[in-house]
């Protein structure tokens, strides 16, 4: 497969048309069309369905675009790292992360210590964002990311922990998930959302005495012996290590959660955004906690 033809194909998809790709790459439209046709011929598959109004990826085209776009992006990032002085970067980065996501705080501080001329505009949000409408360069999101218009880079896999204080647990008998239902619980949730805790293979519909979309408040209640709750490990592990909290029903683990760095794939990504993505991927250890 010809690498230049593959790059042209990626730009046709990203820009939405042969003419837009030709303008973006500063080459003739005829060259774009010929190179894509040569790529299809070499692979013996149809990659694009053409009409007078629009282009549509075939199934084969979708598969090729998904994997080749990542390779082209990584190659571009490598070339940029070799040819540009990153310490001279200057500008702003608009970033969205979930509320109270502590693992990112030090990374953002370290990034700005390294790149002192980059300003970060940080927006805390749980909702799905539109990169163009909301003017977001990069978003950190929990859970699976299903979008053909964005690239997701896996940063971390972890499990929430069911926890309580030793004082709260004193005298209580909790041997199975069903025992939780008769105990005082606090829970994180979105507005008007049903609360389901998955413990091992069991699903529990929880009716908490306190619900919120702020984990720090739930942690406060738990540390003050008010309840059982579920917390991400970065909110509770140090308290488990110190003995201020204990894990409840550790033999019934909660489901794995993904943390992904998400950014648009259908527009040109700025040099600052690329440097930031590379820095976070390199320094945010991919692990199961």
Mean of pLDDT over the chain: 85
Query: Whose CA is closest to 65, among 40, 88, 42?
Result: 40
Domains of the chain, first to last = 3-68 (1.10.10.10), 86-154+257-283 (3.40.190.10), 161-253 (3.40.190.290)
User: Is a pLDDT exceeding 70 seen at residue 169?
Assistant: yes
For residues 121-136, give the mean pLDDT. Answer: 72
> For the chain, what percent of residues have pLDDT higher than 70?
85
For residues 21-25, give the mean pLDDT. Answer: 86
CA-to-CA dists, residue 216 to 128, 207, 237, 273, angstroms: 22, 20, 14, 30
User: Is a pLDDT exceeding 60 seen at residue 289?
Assistant: no
CA-to-CA dists, residue 278 to 39, 41, 111, 126, 257, angstroms: 30, 35, 11, 23, 22
Tell whether pTM > 0.85. no
For residues 90-109, give the mean pLDDT. Answer: 88
Which positions ≥6 away from 165 have C-beta within 8 Å?
Answer: 222, 223, 224, 225, 244, 245, 246
> For the chain, what percent of residues have pLDDT higher than 90?
38
Which positions ≥6 away from 155 have C-beta within 8 Å?
Answer: 140, 259, 260, 261, 280, 281, 284, 286
**Which H/E stretch holds residue 280?**
helix 271-283
Higher pLDDT, 54 or 186: 186
């Amino acid at each position: 497969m010809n690498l230049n033809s593959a790059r042209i194909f990626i730009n046709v998809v990203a820009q939405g048309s042969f003419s837009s790709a030709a303008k973006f790459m500063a080459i003739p439209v005829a060259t774009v069309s010929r190179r894509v046709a040569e790529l299809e011929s070499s692979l013996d598959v149809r990659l694009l369905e053409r009409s007078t109004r629009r282009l549509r990826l075939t199934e084969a085209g979708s598969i090729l675009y998904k994997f080749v776009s990542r390779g082209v992006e990584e190659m571009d990032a490598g070339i940029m790292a070799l040819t540009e002085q990153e310490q001279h970067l200057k500008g702003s980065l608009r970033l969205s992360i979930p509320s109270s996501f502590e693992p990112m705080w030090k990374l953002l501080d370290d990034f700005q210590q390294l790149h002192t001329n980059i300003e970060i505009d940080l927006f805390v949000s749980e909702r799905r964002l539109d990169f163009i409408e909301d003017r977001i360069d990069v978003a950190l999101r929990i859970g699976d990311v299903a979008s053909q218009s964005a690239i997701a880079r896996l940063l971390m896999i972890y499990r929430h922990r069911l926890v309580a204080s030793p004082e709260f647990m004193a005298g209580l008998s909790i041997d199975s998930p069903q025992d939780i239902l008769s105990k005082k619980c606090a829970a994180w949730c979105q507005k008007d959302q049903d609360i389901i805790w998955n413990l091992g293979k069991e699903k529990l519909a929880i009716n908490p005495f306190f619900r919120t979309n702020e984990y720090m408040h739930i942690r406060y209640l738990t540390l003050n012996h008010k309840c059982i709750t579920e917390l991400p490990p970065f909110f509770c592990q140090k308290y488990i290590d110190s003995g201020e909290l204990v894990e409840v029903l550790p033999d019934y683990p909660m489901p794995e959660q993904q943390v992904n760095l998400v950014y648009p794939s259908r527009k040109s990504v700025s040099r600052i955004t690329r440097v930031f993505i590379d820095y976070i991927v390199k320094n945010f250890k991919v692990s199961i906690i």
